[in-house]
A and B are shown apart, each in its own frame.
Chain A
Amino acid sequence: MALDSKVPKGPIKDKWTEYKNKIDLVNPANKRHIDVIVVGTGLAGGSAAATLAELGYNVKAFAYQDSPRRAHSIAAQGGINAAKNYQGDGDSTYRLFYDTVKGGDYRSREANVYRLAEVSANIIDQCVAQGVPFARDYGGLLDNRSFGGVLVSRTFYAKGQTGQQLLLGAYSAMNRQIARGKIEMFNRHEMLDVVIVDGKARGIIARNLVTGEIERHSAHAVVIGSGGYGNVYFLSTNAMGSNATAAWKIHKKGAYFANPCYTQIHPTCIPRSGDYQSKLTLMSESLRNDGRIWVPKNMEDVLAIREGRKKPTDLSEEERDYYLERRYPAFGNLVPRDVASRAAKERCDAGYGVNQTGEAVYLDFASAIERYGKEQAKIQNIANPSAEKIYELGQKIVEAKYGNLFQMYEKIVDQDPYKTPMMIYPAVHYTMGGIWVDYNLMTTIPGCYCIGEANFSDHGANRLGASALMQGLADGYFVLPYTIGDYLADDIRTGKIPTDTKEFDEAEKEVTDRINFFVNNKGTKSVDYFHKKLGKVMWDKAGMSRNAQGLTEAMAEIKAIREEFWKEVSVPGGANEMNPELEKAGRVADFLELGELFAKDALTRSESCGGHFREESAELDGPQKGEAKRNDEEFAFVSAWEYKGEPADAVLHKEQLEFKDIELKQRSYK
């Protein structure tokens, strides 16, 4: 099948408006006869479910958590971008579009990104109307801050809990529709397959996680908003339950999987402390507004710090290497995430890591505290303030901005980040790759849509900070509700989709066979054993830097782990009860396939771009020496993989990327 992105014709700034004007609509009376399934209730799924229900469709929403409010969007800290230009600092729709395409290292689809930038301002209006308590300044207007990879302040925030507040906004909109009976909510339910009837997605098979019952649900369209696959690495900033199963199931039934190797390794996470570690915790990128990243200049100081003979605060300015400010004077500590992560790895690989494991750098707030303290002293008319007074005043400001993050750090590490710099190290955070979708957000299965992090569409090879929330809500509130109508307009006379058909029988049988296999296998090793083993291969060979040999090995090793898994996995308990081990087994089985496709994709893309760094493709000299080297002649395309059984046999389809409104050039943050 040839890929058709269905991008409308015309100038980029008119495409979406013109398209909306001509799209097919479903009249309100007919919407009452149309059912839509939404899987996942994060920002994308939750906002889509609420809006589709407001429009009049009958929505069935599914979440594996006990309430839609717990989806992992809730953990997003720093903020949400929008081209409001409230600060009058030169922002515009075009600039947000440009920053996003450049930040993504020119591997995203221009038309989608422009639309995202275009609707971004509406998101803020909508959220404020819903009662989302964004931060405000003393004049009562909305406040902004800056994120990496941009030169303006366009990030709206609610303390360090922006994702929580936006999700609770979407959750409240869902609640209103649940109360009206327009959304039927299925908590503690997991989608285990999609049902295809006459080539169209017409339903899902789901497991009730409390009773173990396998259920059939039909609809005229199925929307997947189930998030990313970062947990393929075992350790990531994702929630423990975050999984790729819904996305992987639709892939196996015909949805192409795009750019699986595009992973975001976030530069500022709390370093790991031991083998028992179950997850990694992010420290928001917003901290890079005020925190300065450094390691000691001299190896003696590194050793002295590791051995506890010196403290970081003992080192003078001259003894510190603020390596981001040194290498990237224009953007400094606010370079994009992929660049910041690689720079941290470079210093740690060179031996300058500041903790026992050698995998940590400092994020230091001392100069911010001093700067804010002096400013406050002036505002409060305190003449000749003492250093202690300045510190005290400055600490208050930093606390107001990042208090919850500092508290979170202190609880985990048991050190006070107001007094000593934080230690941070990169960790897997977000996956730009995902299910391939066209301009309508429809997958290669007719009637099956994919939104939010689960799709591949807007961030190219690297996502800018505060853009995930923007994309999730844009897809759910403002894009899908229009585009899905164009498809559903053909379904007004279809009537209810029956579930007593052979397609549902077959899909259900596949699901129950697999569950029965797991509970009866009685192997010798736990699900986590395999998950950790997979994660280690992924991190070592398909992590922050990759090469052909490592990726080839990774493919073979993952296949071997998968084979061992199907022989030796042990799942205690039964099928007809709450069984968390059984849930994990199904998810890890899917990760074990996805991981191999991931490595294959990374191997195929022998250029470096964004978060995908191939050691063979770096600048060897000139001012950009050591930086990633893109290869536009051969790789300016989206890799969309078609499932053919074994992951190694997947077939590559290419969507050529065209850059008409932005000139393709090397990313420079110097």
Chain B
Amino acid sequence: MSGKGMNLTLKIWRQKDANDKGKMVDYKVTDISEHMSFLEMMDVLNEQLVNSGEEPVAFDHDCREGICGMCSMYINGEAHGPDRGITTCQLHMRMFNDGDTITIEPFRAAAFPVIKDLVVDRSSFDRIQQAGGYISVNTSGNTQDANAIPISKHAADEAMDAATCIGCGACVATCKNSSAMLFVGAKVSQYALLPQGQVEAADRVKNMVAQMDLEGFGNCTNTGACEVECPKGISLENIARMNREYLAATLKG
């Protein structure tokens, strides 16, 4: 299959390390096929840079099938670029036209400092999960049978919808307040919807919210941009559920 062979101008954020100030730099790529993924277009650019002895653009990526959550990038002012329900690695060049100028920046948030070029540090997400994003059960091999507690299909499906979050951080990058409420709400909801999660529910939501605040994420003002940009379609309802859980937990003391 032959592509259209697009010629593009790329404006890319280059920053040597965390201490560097960083700046936008222009690059040109030619003969880009519409069937390429966005990251394959970046590969073409990087191959070009390596061959001319320049340092390639650093960006996070791994599975390239939209599930690991490693890829980020703010493309033309949108987290994961101009398409819905996908990550950057699933974005295809058919979304662009010959002659386009594409602006590529890292995800920006106080809690996501830039490490290099388009690579950011999202370890704040890990620390929120460490504060309570688990059920305290040891691996014993002797826990009760998996079918001992029936769980309604509806609750299981809803828990799955929340659990489908890939932890990419698009919600934070998109939010004008850099809020992580969609991310935290999704994890809180997954457990809140399942009987296994009930035992520690109050402590979990309090500890995760406290850590979220400590990391410097902003508050939710119900704009809903996060839900629009979320590659996995995580619903705002999860934020509402977290707020209810939080309220109940604090009232219980």
Q: Is the CB of A54 within 8 A of B139?
A: yes
Query: Closest CB of chain B to A625's CB: distance in Å?
Result: 36
Task: Tell me the B192-237 residues at the A interface (CB within 8 Å).
Answer: 194, 196-197
Interface 9-mer from A61-69, A292-300, A543-551? A61-69
A131 within 8 A of B: yes
A66 and B152 alpha carbons, distance in the complex (Å): 35
Across the interface, A142 reaches (CB within 8 A) one of B51, B116, B143, B147, namely B147
Near B by CB (< 8 A), chain A positions 9-56 give: 47, 50-51, 54
Given A86-B147, A411-B86, A581-B50, also A129-B43 (CB < 8 A): no
Of the candidates B62, B133, B157, B166, the one whose C-beta lies within 8 Å of that of A239 is: B62
Is the Cβ of B62 less than 8 Å from the Cβ of A274? no
Contact A67 B122 (CB under 8 A): yes
A88 part of interface (Cβ distance < 8 Å)? no
Q: Which residues of B158-214 have CB atoms within 8 Å of chain A's CB atoms?
A: 159-160, 163-164, 166-167, 190-191, 194, 196-197
Cross-chain contact A239 with B63 (CB below 8 angstroms): yes
* B102: interface (CB < 8 Å): no
Decide if B62 touches A139 in the complex (CB within 8 Å): no
Q: Which A residues from 93 to 151 make CB contacts under 8 A with B? A: 119, 122, 124-131, 133-142
Tell which of A65, A274, A572 touches B55, judged by Cβ atoms closer than 8 Å. Answer: A572
> Would you list which residues of chain B between 38 and 70 have a CB under 8 Å from chain A?
39-40, 43-44, 47, 49-51, 53-56, 58, 60-70
Provide the residues of chain B in CB contact with A572, threshold 8 Å.
49-50, 53-56
Task: Please indicate the chain B residues that have their CB under 8 angstroms from the CB of A184 in the complex.
Answer: none
Interface residues in B9-36 (C-beta closer than 8 Å to A): 16-17, 33, 35-36
Q: Cβ of B156 < 8 Å from any Cβ of A? A: yes
Chain B residue nearest to A159 (CB atoms) is: B160
A47, B56: Cβ atoms closer than 8 Å: no
B125 lies within 8 A of chain A by Cβ: yes
Q: Which one, A172-180, A586-594, A600-608, A629-637, is touching chain B?
A: A172-180
- 1/0 per residue, CB under 8 A from B, across A72-84: the answer is 1011000000001
Q: Interface size bucket, B side?
A: 35 or more
Closest to A413 in B: B35
Is residue A414 contacting chain B, with contact meaning CB distance below 8 A? yes
The listed residue (B33, B37, B115, B152) touching A210 by CB distance below 8 A is: B115
Residues of chain B with a CB closer than 8 A to A481's CB: 139
Q: Is A263 an interface residue (CB 8 A)?
A: no
Q: In the complex, which residues 268-306 of chain A have their Cβ closer than 8 Å to any Cβ of chain B? A: 273-274, 276-279, 281-282
Residues in chain A near residue B253, CB distance under 8 A: none
Check B139–A477 contact: CB distance below 8 A: yes
Chain A residue at minimum C-beta to C-beta distance from B165:
A168
Q: Which one of B63, B119, B152 lies within 8 Å of A140 (CB-CB)?
A: B152
Q: Are A70 and B69 within 8 A (Cβ)?
A: yes
The one of A86, A137, A172, A578 that contacts B58, using a Cβ cutoff of 8 Å: A578
Return chain A residues, CB-CB under 8 Å to B190.
Answer: 131, 133
A67-B122, A578-B119 known; A130 and B137 CB under 8 Å? yes
**Residue contact B69 to A158, C-beta cutoff 8 Å:** no
List the A side residues contacting B17 at CB < 8 Å. 577-578
Q: Is A412 interfacial (CB-CB < 8 Å)?
A: yes
CB-CB under 8 A from A172, the residues of chain B are: 129, 133-135
Among A131, A140, A179, A281, which residue has its beta carbon within 8 angstroms of that of B153? A140
Give the number of chain A interface residues (Cβ < 8 Å): 83
Min distance, Cβ A140 to any Cβ of chain B, angstroms: 3
Say yes or no: is A573 at the interface (Cβ < 8 Å to chain B). Answer: yes
B22 smallest CB distance to A (angstroms): 14
> Which A residues are CB-close (under 8 A) to B197?
131
A133 adjacent to B92 (CB under 8 Å) = no
In the bound assembly, the distance between CA atoms of A74 and B63 in angstroms comes to 9
B99 sits at the interface (CB 8 A): no
CB distance from B252 to the nearest CB of A (A): 21
Is the pair A526, B51 in contact by a Cβ cutoff of 8 Å? yes
Minimum distance in angstroms from A199 CB to a CB of chain B: 31
| Interface residue B241 (Cβ < 8 Å from any Cβ of A) | no
Given contacts A65-B62, A477-B139, contact A175 B43 (CB under 8 A): no
Interface: A171 (CB within 8 A): yes
Residue contacts A-B, CB under 8 angstroms, 28 given: A66-B60, A67-B125, A68-B126, A69-B69, A70-B63, A70-B70, A72-B62, A122-B141, A122-B142, A122-B143, A131-B191, A133-B190, A135-B160, A142-B146, A161-B67, A175-B129, A175-B130, A179-B130, A241-B62, A273-B35, A274-B1, A279-B65, A408-B65, A414-B92, A477-B139, A481-B139, A526-B50, A578-B58
Residues of A near any B CB (own CB < 8 A): 47, 50-51, 54, 65-70, 72, 74-75, 84, 86, 119, 122, 124-131, 133-142, 158-159, 161, 164-165, 168, 171-173, 175-176, 178-179, 185, 187, 210, 237, 239-241, 273-274, 276-279, 281-282, 356, 407-408, 411-412, 414, 477-478, 481, 522, 526-528, 570, 572-573, 577-578, 580-581
User: Residues on B close to A: CB < 8 A?
Assistant: 1, 3, 16-17, 33, 35-37, 39-40, 43-44, 47, 49-51, 53-56, 58, 60-70, 83, 85-86, 90, 92, 94, 115-116, 119, 121-123, 125-126, 129-131, 133-147, 150-153, 156-157, 159-160, 163-164, 166-167, 190-191, 194, 196-197
